[in-house]
Amino acid sequence: MLRLQGIAVSPGVAIGEALVIDNEGFRIPRRFLARDAVEAELERLDRAIAASALEIERNRDAVSQQLGKQYGAIFDAHLQMLRDPRLRAELDEMIRERHYSPEYSVSRALRRYTKVFESLESSYLAERAHDIADIEKRLLRNLLGRKRETIASLQSPVLVLAHNLTPSETANLDRQFVKGFVTEIGGPGSHTAIVACALEIPAVVGMGPFLADVSGGDLVIIDGNRGEVILQPDEDALRQYQQEAEQGRSFVAGLQGLRDLPAETADGTRIDLMGNIEFPDEVEHCLDRGCDGIGLYRTEFLYLGEGPDPDEEAHYQAYLRVLRSMGGKPVVIRTLDLGADKVKGGTPIAAESNPFLGLRSIRVSLRNLPLFRTQLRAILRASVDGNVRFMFPLITTQLELRQAKMLLADVMEDLEEHGVPFNRQVQVGIMIEVPAAVILIDRFMEEVDFVSIGTNDLIQYTLAVDRDNKEVASLYNASDPAVLKLLETTIQSANRHGKSVNVCGQMSSSTTYTMLLLGMGLRQLSVTPAAVPQVKKVCRTVTIPQCEAVYQRAMLLENARDVKNYLREELKKVLPEIAV
């Protein structure tokens, strides 16, 4: 049994068989061989090397003929690598002594070389990493033969374990059979995390290197609540998690009945419970659970796929779909939040040493006005088809807000001139994600219609913790008294100014904080669609005075751990079955 800790990004518990996939999207098969299979497997490796050599020779001859001998020579180098005596000795040792499968040995040995080459300072030599990766793929293809399967063609339930999943890989997964994800890299903003949340399956990311410790078919537990992954669990762990998974299922089933009931407290205060979405498809999840609107519609997905940037029409169609599905219910569209970890194609435009403190979010939009205008135009055009609201992310200074609003007014004028209809009364709000905005919150309130507190970034910037950095991730804590103070300040300022205030981000999706937030005076929550039933259940169970007492007491506690424990205890008192 091996317990590993990563970053929890999508809640729930999944238990099942591991599907380990390589960076080409192929399954890496079982790691170990039966003792008496060694000789046969070595022969299989020989055949694969011979077949690969033949392919490379054919390439060489074709290229030499067409372009000249000197161009074919690169394939001679490939042949040399394929037949390298040291590599061969290494593979033999792994298969003979450690009983690794040839596939696993090839992958492991060649990846080690790839890594070394990648790290070489001479860029020309570092390019050799591609050659090695090429040889690895060729060998694997020859070893796997017909057994080679892509992750798109699954036949039984699996937990997908991968270094990373590209957007297209995730899109091609057979969603019927994928019961959980774990990846070596990535953080809460990673694409895998977002997709896992959208699919509502447990996921843990940012595990660090662990694929070498697991083999296809191994039993694995993914705990998406705590960020824990257990490889080859023992009986005790298995029993404990099976029980937990069962409880989770029956609890969720029991909440189905809440769908058509409002999120009203036991003493009659109406709470607006809204959903956070990324993809237009997720609107269904929100409607199924009886959301009062979309509190956060992230629009980055339009940019993170392959291909050219979306045009105005692509934006417009996506927004229209969401707005029409939601009828007259409010839909808060957050303008592009690109930069930091969210970049096109996974590669930053220019490497920044502190991307979270760099060119991201509204800063990107204000620097790329044509890009920003395209989005503003599309949202405005869609505004006649529903109750749309603008929300600008990461606003830090009043100047930024004014620039964004000015641009919006400019785009409105444009549309007016061209006789394009839009809703002039559209509401404009900002996301509160930076302590600076909280410090000057009263000034901001005079210039906006609403605010929404993005707790993920606010916590990160308040506590100076990069939440994707495993070394310090434990310091990232929503319960920190400093964070609570900022929430309190913002909520009270909004209420004083008669402006609506929402909390989106992971904090609002956690039932641990529901009572605290209601006690602070919050009357609107925007949560991941999967969390709607639980949060609604808490709202319907508690009274406002009860929540206020919890809030008053929590604000007196000294540290994050005490706060969290206290909040969990209080939740347990009112709803023992919901507390995690």
Partner 1 sequence: MTKTKLVRTVIVTNPQGLHARPADLFVKLAQQYRSQVEVSKESLRVDGKSILDILMLAAVEGTPLAIEVTGDDAQDALDALCRLVEQNFADDLNP
The reply to whether 146 sits near partner 1 by the rule CB under 8 A is: no
85 in contact with partner 1 (CB under 8 A): yes
Give buried/exposed letters for 376-408 (b at 16+ CB in 10 A, else e).
bbbbbbbbebbbbbbbbbbbbeeebbebbbebb
When asked if residue 385 is in the footprint of partner 1 (CB under 8 A), the reply is no
Closest distance between partner 1 and the C-beta of residue 67, in Å? 9
> Looking at beta carbons only, is 106 or 535 nearer to partner 1?
106
Single-letter amino acid, residue 344: K
Smallest separation (angstroms) from partner 1 to the CB of 375: 46
84: contact with partner 1 by CB under 8 A? yes
- Closest-CA residue to 522 (of 569, 488, 570): 488
Decide if residue 77 touches partner 1 (CB under 8 A): yes
Shortest reach from residue 95's CB to partner 1, in Å:
18
Among 9, 14, 48, 87, the residue binding partner 1 under the rule CB under 8 A is: 87
Q: Of how many residues is the chain composed?
A: 580
**Mask of contacts with partner 1, 289-318, x by CB under 8 A?**
------------------------------
CB of 62 to partner 1, least distance (A): 17
In whole angstroms, how close is the CB of 119 to partner 1 at the nearest point? Answer: 9
Q: Does 68 bind partner 1 (CB under 8 A)?
A: yes
Q: Which of 78, 191, 285, 315 is catalytic?
A: 191
CA 271, 276, 282 angle in degrees (round to 5)? Answer: 120
- Distance, in Å, from the CA atom of 500 to the CA atom of 448, rounded to the nearest integer, reads 10
Helices (H) and strands (E) in the chain, counts: 24, 16
Nearest to 514 by CA among 458, 579, 577: 579
Regarding 419 and contact with partner 1 (CB under 8 A), the answer is no
Of positions 2, 54, 73, 212, contacts partner 1 by CB under 8 A: 73
Does position 86 interact with partner 1 (CB under 8 A)? The reply is: yes
110/535 with CB nearer partner 1: 110
* Position 145 contacts partner 1 (CB under 8 A): no
Rounded-to-integer distance, Cα 303 and Cα 307, Å: 9
In the complex, the smallest distance separating the C-beta of residue 81 from partner 1, rounded to whole angstroms, is 5
Spatial strand order in the sheet of 219-223: 2-5, 228-231, 219-223, 13-21, 158-162, 178-183, 203-205, 7-10
Closest CA to 52 of 89, 88, 93: 88
Considering only the stretches 65-73, 348-356, 482-490, 493-501, report the one whose residues sit in contact with partner 1 under the rule CB under 8 A. 65-73
> Are the beta carbons of 102 and 91 closer than 8 angstroms?
yes
68/421 with CB nearer partner 1: 68
Query: In a 10 Å sphere around its CB, with 0-12 CB exposed, 13-18 middle and 19+ buried, how is residue 568 labelled?
Result: middle
**Cα(191)–Cα(178) distance, integer angstroms:** 16
Q: What stretches of 210-336 adopt beta strand conformation (E)? A: 219-223, 228-231, 272-277, 294-297, 330-334
Burial of residue 36, with CB atoms counted within 10 A of its CB: 0-12 exposed, 13-18 middle, 19 or more buried:
exposed
Binding to partner 1 by residue 55, rule CB under 8 A? no
Q: Which is nearer to partner 1, 67 or 399 (CB)?
A: 67
Question: Does residue 191 carry a catalytic annotation?
Answer: yes
Torsion over CA of 346, 352, 356 and 357, rounded to 10 degrees? -160
Q: Which residues contact 305 (CB under 8 A, 6 or more apart)?
A: 167, 168
- Catalytic: which of 197, 286, 291, 504? 504
What residues between 97 and 136 interact with partner 1 by CB under 8 A?
113, 116-117, 120-122, 124-125, 128, 131-132
- In the complex, the smallest distance separating the C-beta of residue 55 from partner 1, rounded to whole angstroms, is 17
17 binding partner 1? (CB under 8 A):
no
Closest by CA to 362, choosing from 339, 393, 333, 401, is 393
Is the Cβ of residue 110 or residue 516 nearer to partner 1 in the bound state? 110
Phi, psi angles (nearest 5°) of residue 231: -95, 140
In the complex with partner 1, the residue whose CB is nearer, 7 or 91, is 91
Task: For residue 70, state whether it binds partner 1 (rule: CB under 8 A).
Answer: yes
> Between residues 14 and 109, which has the closer beta carbon with respect to partner 1?
109
Q: Of the two residues 81 and 407, which places its CB atom closer to partner 1 in the complex?
A: 81
Element (H, E) at 540: helix 532-541
SS (H, E, C) 7-21: EEEECCEEEEEEEEE
Q: Is 71 in the site for partner 1 (CB under 8 A)?
A: yes
Closest approach of partner 1 to the CB of residue 56, in Å: 12
Q: What is the DSSP code (8-state) at residue 342? A: B
- C-beta separation of 359 from 339 below 8 A: yes
C-beta of 87 vs 333, nearer to partner 1: 87
**Of the two residues 73 and 436, which places its CB atom closer to partner 1 in the complex?**
73
Number of residues that bind partner 1 (CB under 8 A): 25
Q: Which of the residues are catalytic?
A: 191, 504
What is the contact surface with partner 1 in residues (CB under 8 A)?
68, 70-71, 73-74, 76-78, 80-81, 84-87, 113, 116-117, 120-122, 124-125, 128, 131-132
